[in-house]
Amino acid sequence: GQSLEQPSEVTAVEGAIVQINCTYQTSGFYGLSWYQQHDGGAPTFLSYNALDGLEETGRFSSFLSRSDSYGYLLLQELQMKDSASYFCAVRGNYQLIWGAGTKLIIKP
Amino acid sequence: EAGVTQFPSHSVIEKGQTVTLRCDPISGHDNLYWYRRVMGKEIKFLLHFVKESKQDESGMPNNRFLAERTGGTYSTLKVQPAELEDSGVYFCASSQGNTEGETQYFGPGTRLLVL
């Protein structure tokens, strides 16, 4: 079967750094994406990794290791507005295969 | 530029009734996708349109679900008759192309509750 594993919940302090891990097992792989979703909102694209290594976009970075079927999202200088659910998703042929999401709770 | 819009935002219906969800993709996006999240589980792919043609409908759960995209613009997803297990959030997404790194842009979803 196809599955993505990520922690259900992560708690961090404002201003800190947090890493959300994702491991995947899928029949096809064209890249790993990360999406952010605030309660009741649309999933919003954050990053995409097709090749091994680190991609940086402002306070957010994403890493991929295809040999380990593993990636992570790194959020730096956490702000209260970063409180949301974060989803990893593998790009299959055309569709996205999703993890269950990680709820990030940020404390002041 | 307007994003992906979905209507209605919420729908509450009784088992056996029919519901039609609508998705308006970003203008110019040929690719349109439907996904759903049921009972707090993972978001699951339903189907993919390229313009008005169904490219992949392997995720459609059964024949009670019918998706159309006449004219290659907006799309509708009809559930008839609705069952309790159809409750969840239905998301629509669109992308300009469908290459490997193409970003899919999501709408806010329609929250469907079947009683």
Query: For residue range B37-76, what is the model confidence (pLDDT) as tens digits?
Result: 997 788 999 999 999 999 999 999 999 999 999 888 999 9
What φ, ψ does residue B85 adopt, rounded to 5°?
-70, -5
Contacts of B54 in chain A (CB under 8 A): none
pLDDT surpasses 90 at A1: no
Q: What is the pLDDT of residue A95?
A: 85
pLDDT surpasses 80 at B101: no
Report yes or no: A48 at the B interface, CB cutoff 8 Å: yes
The rounded percent of chain A whose pLDDT value lies above 70 is: 99
A102 → chain B, closest CA residue: B42
pLDDT surpasses 90 at B96: no
How far is the alpha carbon of B26 from chain A, nearest alpha carbon, in Å? 14
Q: What is the pLDDT of residue B111?
A: 96
Contacts of B27 (CB under 8 A, 6+ apart): B1, B2
Instruction: Give the residue among A70, A80, A81, A69 at the shortest CA–CA distance from A19.
Output: A70
Q: What is the pLDDT of residue B26?
A: 95
Question: Would the CB atoms of B105 and A45 count as touching at under 8 Å?
Answer: yes
Contacts of B59 in chain A (CB under 8 A): 95
Contact A94, B104 (CB under 8 A): no
The confidence band for A81, taking pLDDT boundaries of 50, 70 and 90, is: very high
| Mutation choice for A interface testing from B5, B55, B106, B110 by most A CBs within 10 A | B106
B42 → chain A, closest CA residue: A100
Residue A48 to residue A42: CA distance in whole angstroms: 17
Residue B87 to residue B39: CA distance in whole angstroms: 7
* Mean pLDDT, range B21-29, rounded to an integer: 95
How far is the alpha carbon of B81 from chain A, nearest alpha carbon, in Å? 26
Instruction: Give the residue among B58, B29, B65 at the shortest CA–CA distance from B44.
Output: B58
| Length of chain A measured in residues | 108
The confidence band for B100, taking pLDDT boundaries of 50, 70 and 90, is: low
Q: What is the pLDDT of residue A100?
A: 93
Instruction: Give the residue among A49, A28, A44 at the shortest CA–CA distance from A94.
Output: A28
Contacts of B100 in chain A (CB under 8 A): 30-31, 50, 91
Question: Would the CB atoms of A45 and B103 count as touching at under 8 Å?
Answer: yes
Q: What is the pLDDT of residue A103?
A: 96
The rounded percent of chain B whose pLDDT value lies above 90 is: 84
Q: When comparing pLDDT for B8 and A91, which is higher?
A: B8
Q: What is the pLDDT of residue B43?
A: 93
* pLDDT tens track for A92-104: 777 899 999 999 9
Instruction: Give the residue among A39, A37, A38, A40 at the shortest CA–CA distance from A89.
Output: A37
Question: Would the CB atoms of A42 and B106 count as touching at under 8 Å?
Answer: yes
Q: What is the pLDDT of residue B59?
A: 92
* Mean pLDDT, range B75-84, rounded to an integer: 97
Contacts of A33 in chain B (CB under 8 A): 103
The rounded percent of chain A whose pLDDT value lies above 90 is: 84
Terminal CA-CA length for chain B: 37
Contacts of B3 in chain A (CB under 8 A): 42
